[in-house]
């Protein structure tokens, strides 16, 4: 990871030289940027195609062309915008004159999304340069090819002390937001926007948050229905609907509803054919499929490069009866409790012998007797003694700690530590020691901000005649680990039976049903 404090210190020192405030300097930088984009248009288009399957037309119309127009407009007006503006002088200040002098903020952080990766990165940068700021640009990790092109462009055109680019994912985002900037421009989800606002507030940093929204279309009997249908279809299908101002729903007068629907069907076929997914001009990113060599314990998810996957969210397909769908699971940890005893000849043991096995049994008795897997269900947590081995001198106990609730999960760890403290107080310091290692977390904390991940599965199941069974997982999934690595990832059933048993199986009929459901799910996202 880059050393951000040093980078920002260098930028702040450069900003204080005043070079970026010079209007002619700003104009030169924007012209360089415009020229580079013009020369490398095809390279940018190719990157957008690899990330989002955007056609050359849509790549230019929604990304490159908008940025170039932004630069042209800015160059035309920059001198006027930067000039001091005469304003009325209060009578109390007579005979002085009053002016407003536009001043840059300083160091600007630009954090951009994946859906319009070029436009929503470079357009804010144009504004930052125009105003005389230095900037740190953080493109999305979910559009890796476009991010690479932009990173190459910015490093070729500008010194890092002026415009710096940071590649990476969630870890880099969090590290940057811990630093002090003079302005933050963020485009993305509401949940992340709240986090950005929270981090900015620590430094009283002003922010611009471009978040999601709801965009209704209102059509009444006075409307030109053909034109309305054409515009609605264009707006909704543009960029596969991944646009913050894309039409979300239509409020239509009942008397013209059927006619409007027919016109919309006509324009969908005219623009994209009978099957838009087969149309090369319809942008739809590829579906990434990951296979793991084992479940839950990390030898799969820990080696996934999410930047290369390029997905915003996903699903695990694992276990469960037909219809089972889970977006909650246990918070999980493993604990190793080691008891150190003292051996002695049984004939002379009084006052000397400390039997580690017996002390281990005493430790177990300190834990709640009925909070075990055999006595709990649904969201109830537990302690599970999975393994006990030892002799008089040393005994080792391996535990599993589980709970859906974060606070109760922490409390369980505390109880185990307090039991260790009790043993040490009774038998002497160092008799017992405990090591607790967290394994995975409840994925719901990462999934809950992505409602479509849940609603689309319900809809897809219903389309296929499958009754959804929403149930919390009394365990974990690879998806739980991936969720906390930055890929919200609920679990969909396979129709499996007798999980983890000698006769575990999945029927062909179940696999066929789930396959059809997954095809419907892909269509909903497309």
The active-site residue, picked from 41, 43, 172, 210, is 210
Strands 324-326 and 491-492: antiparallel
- Residue 385's H or E segment, with its range, is strand 382-390
Active site residue 244: yes
Identified catalytic residue from 41, 43, 160, 244 = 244
- b/e burial code for range 134-159 (CB count within 10 A of at least 16 → b): bbbbbbbbbbbbbbebbeebbeeebe
Residue among 326, 223, 237 at smallest CA distance from 276: 237
Q: How far apart are CA 101 and CA 82, in angstroms?
A: 8
For the chain, what is the largest distance between any 2 Cα atoms, rounded to a whole number of angstroms?
A: 108
Geometric angle at alpha carbon 232, from 230 and 233, rounded to 5°:
65
What's the number of CA atoms in the CB half-sphere (13 Å) around residue 401? 29
- Decide if 493 is catalytic: no
- Residue 525 backbone dihedrals phi, psi, to 5 degrees: -75, -35
Chain centroid to CA 176: how far?
16
C-alpha–C-alpha distance, residues 430 and 423, integer Å:
9
Between CA 451 and CA 457 the distance in angstroms is: 10
Task: Answer whether 476's CB lies under 8 Å from 332's CB.
Answer: yes
C-alpha span between 184 and 166 (Å, rounded): 15
3-state per-residue secondary structure call for 306-318: HHHHCCCCCCEEC
Closest Cα partner for 435 from 394, 401, 474? 401
The residues annotated as belonging to the active site are: 210, 244
């Amino acid at each position: 990871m880059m050393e951000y404090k040093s980078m920002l210190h260098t930028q702040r020192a450069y900003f204080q030289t005043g070079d970026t405030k010079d209007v002619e300097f700003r104009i030169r930088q924007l012209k360089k940027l415009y020229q580079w984009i013009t020369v490398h248009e095809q390279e940018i288009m190719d990157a957008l195609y690899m990330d989002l399957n955007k056609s050359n037309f849509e790549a230019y119309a929604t990304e490159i062309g908008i940025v170039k127009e932004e630069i042209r407009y800015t160059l035309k007006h920059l001198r006027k915008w930067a000039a001091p503006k005469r304003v009325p002088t209060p009578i109390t200040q007579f005979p002085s004159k009053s002016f407003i002098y536009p001043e840059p903020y300083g160091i600007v952080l630009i954090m951009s999304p994946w859906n319009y990766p070029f436009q929503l990165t470079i357009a804010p940068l144009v504004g930052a340069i125009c105003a005389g700021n230095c900037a740190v640009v953080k493109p999305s990790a979910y559009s890796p090819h476009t991010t690479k092109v932009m990173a190459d462009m910015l490093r070729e055109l500008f010194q890092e002390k002026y415009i710096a680019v940071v590649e990476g994912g969630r870890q880099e985002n969090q590290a940057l937001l811990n630093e002090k900037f003079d302005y933050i421009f963020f485009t993305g989800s509401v949940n992340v926007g709240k986090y950005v606002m929270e981090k900015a507030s620590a430094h009283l940093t002003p922010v611009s948050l471009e978040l999601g929204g709801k965009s209704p279309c209102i059509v009444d009997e006075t409307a030109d229905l053909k034109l309305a249908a054409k515009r609605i279809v264009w707006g909704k299908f543009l960029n596969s609907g991944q646009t913050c101002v894309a039409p979300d729903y239509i409020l239509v007068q009942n008397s013209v509803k059927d006619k409007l629907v027919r016109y919309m069907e006509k324009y969908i076929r005219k623009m994209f054919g009978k099957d838009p997914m087969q149309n090369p001009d319809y942008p739809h990113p590829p579906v990434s499929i990951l296979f793991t060599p084992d479940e839950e314990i990390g030898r799969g998810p820990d080696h996934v490069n999410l930047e290369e996957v390029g997905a915003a969210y996903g699903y695990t397909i694992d276990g469960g009866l037909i219809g089972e769908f889970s977006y909650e699971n246990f918070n999980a940890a493993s604990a190793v409790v080691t008891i150190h005893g003292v051996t002695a000849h049984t004939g002379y043991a009084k006052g000397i012998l400390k039997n580690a096995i017996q002390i281990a049994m005493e430790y177990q008795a300190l834990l709640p007797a009925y909070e075990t897997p055999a006595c709990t269900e649904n969201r109830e947590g537990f302690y599970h003694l999975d393994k006990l081995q030892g002799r008089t001198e040393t005994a080792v106990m391996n535990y599993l700690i589980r709970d859906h609730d974060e606070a109760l999960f922490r409390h369980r760890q505390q109880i185990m530590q307090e039991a260790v403290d009790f043993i040490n107080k009774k038998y002497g310091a160092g008799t017992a020691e405990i090591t607790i290692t967290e394994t995975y977390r409840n994925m719901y904390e990462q999934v809950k901000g992505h409602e479509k991940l849940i609603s689309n599965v319900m809809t897809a199941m219903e389309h296929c005649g499958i009754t959804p069974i929403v149930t919390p997982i009394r365990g974990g999934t690879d998806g739980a680990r991936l969720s906390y690595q930055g890929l919200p990832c609920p679990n969909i059933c396979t129709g499996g039976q007798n999980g983890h048993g000698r006769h575990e199986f999945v029927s062909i009929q179940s696999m066929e049903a789930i396959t059809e459901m997954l095809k419907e799910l892909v269509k909903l996202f497309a």
